[in-house]
């Protein structure tokens, strides 16, 4: 365990300090009760039963029995309180770490998300946190309890007869070692069979997904054979667990009775001068049995602790990187803006000196529109990601209405910019919530935005209208419909700057017309930037910016650019048309 990990655990547990202290104290009380119980029986056997009497002085077996019942009741009720408090404490730790992680993910910048796949983040917040749950809910406190228990039992045994106790202790390391080895083997077996199981499941999932393919190619027989083969492999992978599962329990039984035998041998043969009466032998046997449970548990938990350490470090490796967090607090709050955008000698690289944009300068006047044209990788998408500060530029400056966007409050800046991506994200919420996003709008406003974006007809055709809940990631809608909803978002939020990454996917003609209508409406009044694929869009903008390898090679209106016969754009344009007429 590295000291860093210990520090991290300490940090997580610090708010729970009081709870831990109280739990530990109660745990000690419970354990003392557990240790006293066999002692009471010893007293009964040695002091009463051996003489065949019910009462001795003021003491009777009845009183001892009552104490026994009292310990049972109080001990178990206390135990209930302790374990409930412990789990709640664990839940609190988990709850707050999960919130922290989620918050981090939300506030981390795009470069962070670029290098961290969303699947990894999902695993961190769900299963990695789950992995530490057992650690905080059970292990930490049972660990305290178990150690206290072992010590208490050991103390009792030593005080009853230190020689016999020492003989008994010899067996403890053997138990711990055996238990460790078997647990280790058993974990390896399990790990392997888990892998086989995953294979079976992948096979099944794929067969279900590809059932049409299997049918039309008549491959039922081949697939059935494969299924049986995989399942048999899984069956075989489980067989060794019979050995490990059987062995662990049986070995503990052997050790337990070996311990019992040792106690009896020692007493019978008066080894080391041990000479005990029946009650003491009984209590030794009971204590020995009692001591096995915490030892085994500690061994088992060892694995859990290691796993938890790994997960804790994974989680904090994310949380400790504060440099990825975006700052939403500082900066100038924008009021009404004109929408003038200027790029002044902008240089940008995702990493190092690998420049994606090289000395890019251009201006978009308020209310005007531009189209970015160029091959994949020429830097078009990068430009739109810089305007809303998904990435920070290295050299030069980007100005909005003459203010450097680095000085503008991030939230305020992004509210002024409306972006529609190629494949707009639709949340698994109602249509209404999908359009509102972070604002509260009336149903009328929503309907109005749907009308403006020509999505009214399609939304009205849904069974629940604007209250219809979209499927996961909007799979129930076509690409075109998703675009229409994205336009409705733009109308609802009324940004001053509009950015559209035109879809290349096949969209049917009718929807495409509707989308065109929305584009026309928006670009008439807002500063608009298009990553254009369609000629009609390109021809209609005020300015075309042609990019090649991160440099602007031409800019101007369509008419201007086609004038220059040697220009990149006019070559593209002419080649395209001659291709068509062939």
Partner 1 sequence: MKKAIIDSLKKYKWKILLQIIFIGINIYLLTYPAKIVGNIVDMLYNLNENKQEILNNTYYLIGICIVLLIIRIIWKYFEIYINRAVERDLKTNLFERFLKLKLKDIQNIKNGEIMSYFVKDIMEIRNIVYRILSHGVRIVFTFVIAVYQMIQGVNLSLTIAVMGPILIGCYLVIKIKKYVEISFKKSQERFTEMSEYIQESTDSIRTTKAYSCEGEQLKEFIRKNRKVRQSNNTVDVYSNLLTMCLNICFGICYSISLLYGSKLVIDGVITVGELVTFNGYIGLFVNPVNWIPGLISRFKRAQIAYKRLDKIYELEIEKINTKSNINKEKLEGNITVQNLNFNYPGVIDKALENINIELNKGETLGIIGTIGSGKTTLMNLLTRLYSIPNGKILIDGKDINEIPIDVLRNNICYITQDNFLFSSSLKDNISLFKDDYKEDEIKESTKKAVVYEDIQKMPEGINTVIGERGGDLSGGQKQRVAISRAFLKESSILIFDDTFSALDNRTSEKLIENIQDLSDKKTCIIISNKVSDVKYSDKIIVLDNGNIVEKGTHEELIKNNGIYSEFYNQQSTKAEPSFLA
Question: In this complex, which beta carbon is closest to partner 1, that of residue 148 or of residue 539?
Answer: 539
Which 140-179 residues touch partner 1, going by CB under 8 A? none
Report the nearest approach of partner 1 to the CB of residue 350 (Å). 15
Residue 207, exposed/middle/buried by CB under 10 A (0-12, 13-18, 19+)?
A: middle
Site string for partner 1, 106-125 (x = CB under 8 A): xx--x--x----xx-xx--x
266 in Cβ contact with 164 (< 8 Å): yes
Show Cβ contacts of residue 501 under 8 Å, excluding neighbours closer than 6 positions.
381, 384, 419, 420, 421, 422, 531
Site size with partner 1, rule: CB under 8 A = 144
3-state secondary structure of 13: helix
**Residue 580, interface with partner 1 (CB under 8 A)?**
yes
3-state secondary structure of 529: strand
The stretch among 12-20, 159-167, 213-221, 309-317 that binds partner 1 (CB under 8 A) is 213-221
Which member of 159, 472, 559, 565 binds partner 1 (CB under 8 A)?
Answer: 472
Question: In this complex, which beta carbon is closest to partner 1, that of residue 344 or of residue 414?
Answer: 414
Question: In this complex, which beta carbon is closest to partner 1, that of residue 260 or of residue 403?
Answer: 260
Report the nearest approach of partner 1 to the CB of residue 430 (Å). 14
CA distances from 320 to 2, 4, 104, 142 (A): 16, 12, 10, 29
Question: In this complex, which beta carbon is closest to partner 1, that of residue 41 or of residue 349?
Answer: 41
User: In terms of residues, how long is the chain?
Assistant: 582
Question: In this complex, which beta carbon is closest to partner 1, that of residue 314 or of residue 344?
Answer: 314
Which member of 1, 18, 216, 333 binds partner 1 (CB under 8 A)?
Answer: 216
Site string for partner 1, 53-92 (x = CB under 8 A): xx------xx-xx--xx--xx-xxx-xx--xx--xx--xx
Cβ neighbours, 10 Å, residue 521: 16
Which 559-578 residues touch partner 1, going by CB under 8 A? 572, 576
Nearest to 421 by CA among 498, 369, 517, 343: 498
Report the nearest approach of partner 1 to the CB of residue 538 (Å). 8
Which 476-535 residues touch partner 1, going by CB under 8 A? 478, 489, 493, 504, 506, 508-509, 532-535
**Residue 187, interface with partner 1 (CB under 8 A)?**
no
Question: In this complex, which beta carbon is closest to partner 1, that of residue 293 or of residue 320?
Answer: 293
CA pair distance 47, 275, nearest whole angstrom: 17
CA pair distance 271, 543, nearest whole angstrom: 103
Nearest to 372 by CA among 153, 209, 175, 533: 533
Q: What angle do CA 528, 533, 539 make, to 5 degrees?
A: 65
Which member of 147, 160, 264, 441 binds partner 1 (CB under 8 A)?
Answer: 264
Report the nearest approach of partner 1 to the CB of residue 113 (Å). 5
Report the nearest approach of partner 1 to the CB of residue 251 (Å). 7
Report the nearest approach of partner 1 to the CB of residue 507 (Å). 9
CA pair distance 282, 271, nearest whole angstrom: 18
Question: In this complex, which beta carbon is closest to partner 1, that of residue 113 or of residue 395?
Answer: 113
Which member of 170, 188, 192, 228 binds partner 1 (CB under 8 A)?
Answer: 228
Which 1-20 residues touch partner 1, going by CB under 8 A? none
Nearest to 347 by CA among 382, 399, 390: 382
Question: In this complex, which beta carbon is closest to partner 1, that of residue 5 or of residue 441?
Answer: 441
- Beta strand ranges found along 285-428 (DSSP E): 341-349, 355-364, 369-373, 395-400, 403-404, 417-420
Which 300-319 residues touch partner 1, going by CB under 8 A? none
Report the nearest approach of partner 1 to the CB of residue 345 (Å). 26
Report the nearest approach of partner 1 to the CB of residue 567 (Å). 15
Which member of 151, 174, 177, 278 binds partner 1 (CB under 8 A)?
Answer: 278
Q: Alpha-carbon dihedral of residues 473, 476, 479, 480, nearest 10 degrees? A: -130
Question: In this complex, which beta carbon is closest to partner 1, that of residue 257 or of residue 464?
Answer: 257
Report the nearest approach of partner 1 to the CB of residue 42 (Å). 11
CA pair distance 141, 131, nearest whole angstrom: 16
Report the nearest approach of partner 1 to the CB of residue 332 (Å). 15
Find where tokens 């080649």 sit.
Answer: 575
Report the nearest approach of partner 1 to the CB of residue 504 (Å). 4
CA pair distance 306, 438, nearest whole angstrom: 42
CA pair distance 560, 97, nearest whole angstrom: 59
**Residue 235, interface with partner 1 (CB under 8 A)?**
yes
- Beta strand ranges found along 229-349 (DSSP E): 341-349
Which member of 245, 303, 320, 467 binds partner 1 (CB under 8 A)?
Answer: 245
Report the nearest approach of partner 1 to the CB of residue 533 (Å). 6
Report the nearest approach of partner 1 to the CB of residue 572 (Å). 7
Which 387-426 residues touch partner 1, going by CB under 8 A? 388, 390, 410-411, 414-415, 417-419, 421, 424-425
Question: In this complex, which beta carbon is closest to partner 1, that of residue 8 or of residue 482?
Answer: 482
Show Cβ contacts of residue 105 under 8 Å, excluding neighbours closer than 6 positions.
121, 125
Question: In this complex, which beta carbon is closest to partner 1, that of residue 238 or of residue 344?
Answer: 238
23 in Cβ contact with 80 (< 8 Å): no
What the block records as the tokens of 253 is 């039984």
CA distances from 129 to 4, 93, 112 (A): 18, 10, 20
């Amino acid at each position: 365990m590295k000291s860093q990990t210990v520090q991290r655990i300490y940090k997580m547990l610090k708010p729970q300090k009081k709870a831990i202290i109280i739990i530990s104290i109660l745990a000690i009380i419970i354990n003392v009760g557990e240790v006293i119980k066999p002692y009471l029986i010893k007293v009964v056997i040695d002091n009463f039963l051996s003489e065949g009497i019910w009462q001795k002085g003021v003491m009777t077996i009845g009183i001892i029995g009552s104490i026994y019942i009292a310990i049972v009741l109080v001990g178990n009720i206390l135990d209930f309180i302790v374990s409930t408090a412990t789990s709640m404490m664990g839940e609190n730790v988990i709850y707050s770490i999960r919130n922290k992680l989620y918050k981090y993910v939300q506030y981390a910048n795009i470069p962070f998300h670029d290098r961290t796949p969303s699947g990894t983040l999902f695993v961190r917040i769900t299963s990695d946190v789950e992995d530490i749950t057992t650690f905080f809910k059970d292990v930490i406190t049972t660990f305290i309890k178990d150690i206290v228990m072992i010590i208490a039992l050991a103390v009792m045994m030593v005080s009853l007869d230190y020689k016999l106790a020492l003989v008994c202790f010899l067996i403890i390391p053997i138990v711990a070692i055996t238990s460790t080895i078997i647990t280790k083997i058993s974990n390896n077996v399990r790990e392997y069979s888990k892998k086989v199981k995953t294979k079976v499941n992948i096979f099944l999932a794929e067969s279900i997904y590809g059932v049409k393919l299997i049918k039309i190619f008549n491959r039922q027989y081949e697939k059935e054979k494969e299924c049986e083969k995989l399942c048999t492999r899984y069956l075989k992978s489980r067989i060794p667990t019979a050995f490990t599962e059987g062995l662990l329990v049986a070995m503990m039984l052997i050790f337990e009775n070996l311990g019992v035998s040792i106690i009896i041998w020692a007493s019978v043969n008066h080894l080391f001068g041990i000479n005990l009466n029946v009650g003491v032998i009984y209590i030794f046997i009971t204590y020995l049995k009692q001591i096995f449970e915490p030892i085994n548990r500690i061994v088992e938990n060892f694995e859990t602790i290691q796993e938890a350490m790994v997960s804790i470090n994974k989680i904090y490796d994310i949380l400790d990187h504060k440099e990825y967090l975006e700052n939403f607090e500082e900066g100038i709050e924008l009021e009404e803006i004109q929408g003038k955008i200027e790029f002044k000698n902008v240089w940008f690289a995702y990493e190092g000196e690998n420049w994606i944009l090289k000395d890019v300068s251009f201006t978009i006047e308020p209310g005007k529109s531009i189209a970015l044209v160029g091959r994949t990788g020429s830097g078009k998408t990068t430009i739109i990601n810089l305007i809303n500060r998904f990435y920070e530029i290295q050299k030069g400056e980007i100005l909005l209405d003459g203010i450097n966007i680095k000085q503008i409050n991030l939230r305020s800046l992004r509210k002024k910019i409306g972006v529609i991506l190629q494949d707009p994200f639709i949340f698994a919420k109602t249509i209404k919530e999908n359009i509102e996003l972070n604002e509260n709008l009336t149903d009328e406003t929503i309907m109005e935005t749907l009308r403006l974006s020509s999505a009214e007809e399609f939304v009205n055709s849904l069974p629940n209208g604007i209250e219809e809940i979209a499927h996961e990631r909007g799979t129930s809608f076509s690409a075109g419909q998703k675009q229409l909803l994205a336009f409705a978002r733009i109308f609802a939020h009324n940004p001053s700057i509009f950015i559209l990454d035109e879809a290349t996917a096949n969209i049917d003609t009718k929807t495409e017309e509707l989308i065109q209508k929305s584009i026309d409406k928006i670009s008439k009044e807002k500063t608009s930037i298009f990553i254009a694929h369609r000629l009609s869009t390109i021809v209609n903008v005020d300015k075309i910016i042609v990019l090649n390898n991160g440099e602007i090679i031409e800019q101007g209106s369509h008419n201007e650019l086609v004038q220059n016969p040697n220009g990149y754009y006019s070559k593209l344009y002419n080649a395209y048309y001659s291709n068509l007429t062939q």
